[in-house]
Structure 1
Amino acid sequence: MEDSHQKVIDELQKKNHRELQNLHAEKERLLEEETAATIAAIEAMKNAHRSELEKELDKARKANSNTENADIEEIRRQHEEELCSFQREIEVLSEQYSQKCLENAHLAQALEAERQALRQCQRENQELNAHNQELNNRLAAEITKMRSMTSEDGGGDSNITMQGKELYELEVMLRVKESEVQYLKQEINSLKDELQSAQRDKKYATDKYKDIYTELSIVKAKAERDLGRLRDQLQLAHQALGEAALEEVERGGYGTDKRRYSRPFERRIYALRLCDACLNKCSKTFLL
């Protein structure tokens, strides 16, 4: 029964150790991919939007000075296509970010399950230590009893041979019991070492989880700052194009009628307004 119980404990310890290693490797891989993808996407979005904004401002200035050969409708169409593509990219990024957050939550649940399994192994190890201590006490009592019986039965010439044989058998049994005790002690020490290793793995996983959470918070804060700067740039662009023109376009609406955008700067303002609305919508989707 003790051997069977010991095998079960060994299997639980090995299984727990393997699962912890697998979880650590998987968690590190997923978080590295998530961090790299998020940072790259945010930088690409920021650079693309800044470049597009600068181009549109240049085009608006040129169109204000020379409106004879400008193809306003084509520019508006191209810009709308670019804005739609930009919005789709941000929506995909938002979905990927949500998926990574969900995977992170699953990893946290798995880590909690491993902690519970580790606590269960610790309880079983304590029970095994108590059982081994009880066996040691019984063995010591049995050895004392056998020695006392041997000393009491030492007289009589007719029983010398029988007593010698019994004494030899008792010595053999004593050696066997001592060997079993040494084996049990070695097993207990091995279990203690495995338990300490599991506790170190648990501490490492906990620290890694905290670091990852902090890193994700930093990435999110950086994304919020970048989006805020983009909104500020859009506001400055609106002011550079002229508040009077902006009010005139707002009174005329945001339809697709060419007569409402007969002047080039009105077309640029319309495109910038679309970009601003797209940016606000996507930032809410991504950051919330």
Structure 2
Amino acid sequence: MSVLILALVAGAVVGLALGGLGGGGSVLAVPALIYLLGFTPVAATTASLIIVTLTSISSLAAHARDGNVRWRPGLLFAAAGIGPAMLGGLVAGHIPATALTIAFSVTAALAAWRMLRPSRPAQDPVQGSPVQDGPVQGSPAQDRPVRPPRAAGSGAGLGAVTGVLGVGGGFLAVPALVGVLGLRMKTAVGTSLLVIVINSLAALATRTSTADSLDWAVIAPFTAAAILGAWDGKRLAAKISGNRLQHVFAYVLLAVAAFMLLDSLI
């Protein structure tokens, strides 16, 4: 199979994950770039940030039009991660490739485990009743009030992961936005894309020295396919339950994590 076809197929899958789940694209992009397209771990993490940033911007616009982006908590969450993301980007270039791969696989496995855990509905802060998605409750006003210290702490941790591992962090941002900030799943998915864009741009700012070695003939079609796939992912998410999508993606993540860990240790 030619490199172009592999890039297009991998990009489409990454886009489906970002559009449908609001994250997870980079967790698939990095291993695809390494094992299918021949990138080094450092180059793959940098390329992944570029691909995921551009794809997330496109998908963010669609979610924003539907009113599924909470801008204030999203910006607060992302702003706390800018410094750690830039610091992590500087550190990443000094980490051995094997250690970087192992850290990436462990992070992917933890994310999969988190997705497979039974989800608990967000509780209304006054009545204590579950907040459900629906045609009326679909507005952002139904999300719980955001506590700035909790948002800042979670955002800083996510930024550090983004900078070191070259992942947008959506697969960690969505659970944090739901569990820590109290957003509903639908708005958490849309808001996570805003967080991904800001954190990824911050991490990329410290990785300019690695851009010269990137194969743009692969990155360009990969990104184009991912952008188109993100639109399909958003439509797919409207037809299939969020839990089912998460479980399927979690099992894929586990398989990817196991393969990368075994490959780095053997």
Q: Provide TM-score, normalisation by structure 1.
A: 0.26
Bigger helix share: 1
Highest Rg: 1 or 2? 1
